[in-house]
Amino acid sequence: MTELLVTVSSILSNPTKNVRKVLDTYVQKDSIMKLVGLVMLATIVVVIMCGGCARESDMSAPQDWTFEMEKVWEVKQVGEDELLRPAEPRVADNGTLYCHDFERHLSYIIDGDGKLVSTFAARGSGEGEVPMYLNCFPAGDYVVICAMDKLHFFTKQGQFVKAVPNNPFVRFPLAFKNENEFWVAPGALGDAPGSLAVVTHVNLVSGEETTVHEFARSDVEKKPTGGGVVVGLTPQIKMGFDRQSDRVYFGKNSDTVIYWLTGDQGKTESFSFTGVRQPVSEADKRSHFGKFNVPEERLTMMIGALPNQMAYYHRIQVVDGLVYLFSAESIGGAQTGQLVNVYSPDGRHLYYGRIQVEEGWRLSGPDNLQLTNGFIYAIQENDAGDKKIVKYTVALPKS
């Protein structure tokens, strides 16, 4: 029996290598010992080997994740203002929420309890005003509003700091490391000025601009948008920044490769994932643009530039070291949830799950859901046209 236990220990230390060696040894024993030993040993070997296979399979297959959302608060007005067309929630590291009302042409700063802190970046041409709002980015101790001609920098409380000239069509901000460093790329792959779509790191203090990566483009990706960019459908470069590790993850949303880079320079690494692109009809595209009153000639051009499939994802976020890809599901206005795939820092597919809003409500748009460490913010609407911002607690996997 002692000899058998030693044999089992040998198998456990390296099952694949030692099983045949041990079996050959037992063939040399006397007949009784050989019979008993082989039966016991065979049983142990099967359990060990099959158990190992099961564990390996469990580790390689992504698991279904339940987000366990619970509402913290909801607001249908901010201060004295009823929400008319709120969009693009963005959350700073301290939990401050920024959002923009496209009908009021005004941005809001909301604290962790859903209370108004201040308004900022109203439409206009004066100091601290924005001619045309495009996007918003938390940037360390600042918040940046991207407009058609400049990047407008504000404090977390909404005080204007400075404006920096910028052309978002060829230098659209992807993510901000702080108020002085950020990454840019063409706003759409079809609008890249050269044969390649280039990701660039910008340092406003030193004036240096460093090429991070160059993307080749397919024929479909080369079609100029004509200004008709649709989130989740238009081929674009997306990026997520992990402040904890100083690592950025980025990729073409029309491709299945995600790249990452730690620090400002260094070796770019990557991982691949599998995915399915959902079909999009011309009727879907026309329905999307219908509310914008686009002239028919320009509408035909914009629709012709769009692919007939959704992208693989429309956003990359990094939370607690894990990489979240938000699947691009449709361009319709009836999206009641969001499929999310979660990857380890080195690209192992760990989990998939669906973030679902409450019955009778839907997301106002694919970019109206923001995930942070422990919370989800969602801008929602119903069939009556009511709008609201909701904050939920959420259970997230740990890295």
pLDDT at 319: 95
- Measuring CA to CA, which residue among 137, 121, 30, 119 is closest to residue 79? 119
pLDDT at 261: 92
Secondary structure of 231-275 as H, E, C letters: CCCCCCEEEEEECCCCEEEEEECCCCEEEEEECCCCCCEEEECCC
Which of 317-342 are b and which e, b meaning 16 or more Cβ less than 10 Å from the residue's Cβ? bbbeebbbbbbbbbbeeebeebebbb
**For residues 294-311, average pLDDT:** 93
pLDDT for residue 6 is more than 80: no
pLDDT for residue 20 is more than 60: no
How large a percentage of the chain has pLDDT more than 90? 74
Q: What confidence tens digit (pLDDT) does each residue in 51-88 have? A: 333 333 345 799 999 999 999 999 999 999 999 999 99
Angle between helices 296-305 and 282-289 (to 10 degrees): 130
- Spatial distance between the Cα atoms of 89 and 223, rounded to a whole number of angstroms: 30
- Residue 126 β-bridge partners: none
CA distances from 93 to 72, 248, 250, 368 (A): 18, 16, 20, 18
Model confidence, pTM: 0.84
Q: Are 184 and 211 in contact (CB under 8 A)?
A: no
**For residues 117-134, average pLDDT:** 95
pLDDT for residue 126 is more than 70: yes
- Spatial distance between the Cα atoms of 52 and 5, rounded to a whole number of angstroms: 19
Residue 223: band (very low, low, confident or very high) from pLDDT cuts 50, 70, 90: very high
Residue 38: band (very low, low, confident or very high) from pLDDT cuts 50, 70, 90: very low
pLDDT at 265: 61
Residue 291: band (very low, low, confident or very high) from pLDDT cuts 50, 70, 90: confident
How large a percentage of the chain has pLDDT more than 70? 84
Q: What confidence tens digit (pLDDT) does each residue in 81-109 have? A: 999 999 999 999 889 999 999 999 999 99
Of 75-79, 222-226, 260-264, the range with the lowest mean pLDDT is 260-264
Residue 292: band (very low, low, confident or very high) from pLDDT cuts 50, 70, 90: confident
Q: Which residues contact 154 (CB under 8 A, 6 or more apart)?
A: 120, 121, 128, 142, 143, 144, 145, 160, 161
pLDDT for residue 46 is more than 60: no
pLDDT at 28: 44
pLDDT for residue 37 is more than 70: no
pLDDT at 140: 87
Q: Look over the chain and give the mean of its residue pLDDT values, rounded to a whole number.
A: 86
pLDDT for residue 293 is more than 90: no
pLDDT at 266: 64
335 compared with 146, residue with greater pLDDT: 146
Q: What confidence tens digit (pLDDT) does each residue in 266-282 have? A: 679 999 999 999 999 99
pLDDT at 350: 98
**For residues 106-113, average pLDDT:** 97
Q: What confidence tens digit (pLDDT) does each residue in 361-376 have? A: 999 888 899 999 899 9
**For residues 124-128, average pLDDT:** 94
pLDDT for residue 127 is more than 80: yes
- Spatial distance between the Cα atoms of 251 and 22, rounded to a whole number of angstroms: 50
Q: What confidence tens digit (pLDDT) does each residue in 158-196 have? A: 999 999 999 998 899 999 999 999 999 999 999 999 899
